[in-house]
Amino acid sequence: MTARKILLEIEGGAETVPAIRRNPLQAGGYVAKHVLVAAYHQMVAGGVMKADESLLARIRMKPIRTLSGVATVTVLTKPYPCPGDCIFCPTDNRMPKSYLPDEPGAARAYQNEFDPFLQVRSRLDSYHGIGHPTGKIELLILGGTWSAYRRDYQEWFVKRCFDAMNGAETESTSLEEAHRKNEESLHRNVGLVIETRPDKITVKELVWLRRLGVTKVQLGVQRLDDAILEKNRRGHSAASTLQATALLRAAGFKVVAHWMPNLLGASLDSDRADFARLWKEAGEGFGCCPDELKIYPTQLLENAELYDFWQCGEYQPYTTEELIDLIADLKPAIPPYCRVNRVIRDIPSTHVVDGNKRTSLRQDVLAELAKRGQACRCVRCREIRARQVRPERLKMDDYVYQAAFAEEHFLSFVTPEDRIAGYLRLSLPKPSPASSWLPGLGLPDLQDAALIREVHIYGQAMAVGAGKAGVAQHSGLGERLLDRAAEIAREDGFRRLAVISAIGTRRYYKKRGFVAGDLYLTKDL
């Protein structure tokens, strides 16, 4: 009854925290927000109050989890042999390579015996329990090298994830059936992410990933220095990374690079030099230019082979202070088209033998930048999050850069305070004699086509079709970005646009003139 009383007060206009404090529990303490969320759902179901998204937003726990515009669901594949022999990866027979059973996402997978359906269902239930919308789901499939798993397992795994998003009680007869259902599901997939190695990226592999519905690939780059890669037994070269990123971009995928400072043989100075190589444009000698980045400082773990080098005195981890200074030096140089997703692995500090044990490294780095009077302009640092948006005050920016064999346009709507409300990634393929293996990849959908690799509108995630004054989602920004992308592609001589659509966004593009091809949606210009 206390929770109901609080909700009625909030519905009547009371502020959330004062309403909670005015109604303490008889046994002491106060009503928790997750209890308020459960009471809200019961009252709506019982007809006591009407569904009210703004009320739910005021009692929601951890609102930041869906402020990027989508709800992220992370699942892990089962333990399976990895083709790599990296000395820095932990080995635990209970987990896929490089993961530990008490990492947050990994723990949920372990508890559910790596069953994809149960992992997705439990995460959706968790979001529902703390008041978050789950109409738009970005699905992250982790577990080491996805490309090393058998394809029948991959197909089954993805199908069962879609079954869970579709609310199915019985297993779909095929992946195609699960995909079709998701186009109008209550939990639509707006992005599907896998992780793999650069040396596993081929045209054949990319076609398979599109069949599965993949739109983004996390690539274990780790380093762009062949000597360091060899010393750490990574098993691929910097050239493999460049070719992989070029192939992924040519096929429309978003590229997330994993980069590791403090590897065996590296130094603070060589890390700074290596990080700069990530952003060298095509005319400057490289052209990797990842769309997103995960900075994973090497962590010394007892069940990794690197531990033996440390015991022999051949390896020394950086201190927390050295890492903070290093990353604070690197962050301001990140181009405005890249989003830094992480600056540290979520490995519990109890596993770390020596060196940095803080998992709040991002906050430490931002504090150091503030002390220096500097700022990072990566996408994540500039998202609008919960800020109100006035569309008439937004300016459209076109940031152009040259990646390997492509001219990239990062189109973004920016507030007067330099906050990003939404963006689009447009890729204009630029073939050359050195890329005879690249143009169109031999795929009919991509012939003579410019590629839209991503459209993302920021702000609190909302149900598909919902709208609210002052928020970026569902305010027409995506359509305006699409129109400008079409103009740029037409001016550059392309005859059509191709978009790498997630399963749950197909209808969005079809309503805007795109038609289904074999692996992509296309639109004649």
3-state DSSP call for residue 512?
Answer: coil
Instruction: Summarize pLDDT for 94-124 with one digit per residue, the tens.
Output: 999 889 988 878 888 999 999 999 999 999 9
Q: Summarize the confidence of residues 504-518 as an average pLDDT.
A: 96
Residue 414 pLDDT > 60, yes or no? yes
Q: Give the helix ranges, DSSP H, for 251-287.
A: 268-278
Digit-coded pLDDT (tens) for 401-412: 999 999 999 999
3-state SS, residue 448 = coil
Residue-range domain boundaries for the chain: 2-59, 63-196, 391-524
Least Cα distance to 426 among 396, 454, 395, 456 occurs for 454
The per-residue pLDDT for 20 is: 67
Q: What pLDDT, on the 0 to 100 scale, is given for residue 38?
A: 61
Question: How much is the pLDDT for 106?
Answer: 87
The dihedrals phi and psi of 174, each to the nearest 5 degrees, come to -155, 160
- Cross-strand bridge partners of residue 216: 193, 254
How do strand 496-499 and strand 449-457 relate by DSSP bridges? parallel
Say what the pLDDT of residue 52 is.
65
- Confidence check: pLDDT of 277 > 90: yes
Distance in angstroms between the alpha carbons of the first and the last residue of the chain: 60
Residue 229, pLDDT score: 98
Question: What's the CATH fold of domain 391-524?
Answer: Aminopeptidase (3.40.630)
More confident residue, 129 or 90: 90
Partner residues linked to 499 by β-bridges: 452, 521
Q: What is the pLDDT confidence band of residue 27, given thresholds at 50, 70 and 90?
A: low
CA–CA distance, 16 with 65 (Å, rounded to integer): 19
Segment holding 321, helix H or strand E = helix 320-330
The tokens of 398 are what?
A: 């076109």
Three-class SS of residue 283? Answer: helix
The per-residue pLDDT for range 232-248, each reduced to its tens digit, is 999 999 999 999 999 99
The side-by-side arrangement of strands in the sheet containing 339-342 is: 71-76, 136-142, 188-196, 216-222, 254-259, 292-295, 339-342
Question: Cα–Cα–Cα angle for 177, 212, 125, nearest 5°?
Answer: 70
- Nearest CA to 201 out of 243, 171, 261 is that of 243
Name every residue whose Cβ is closer than 8 Å to that of residue 387 and which is 6 or more positions away in sequence. Answer: 415, 419
β-partners of residue 292 are 256, 339
CA 271 from centroid of its chain's CA atoms: 24
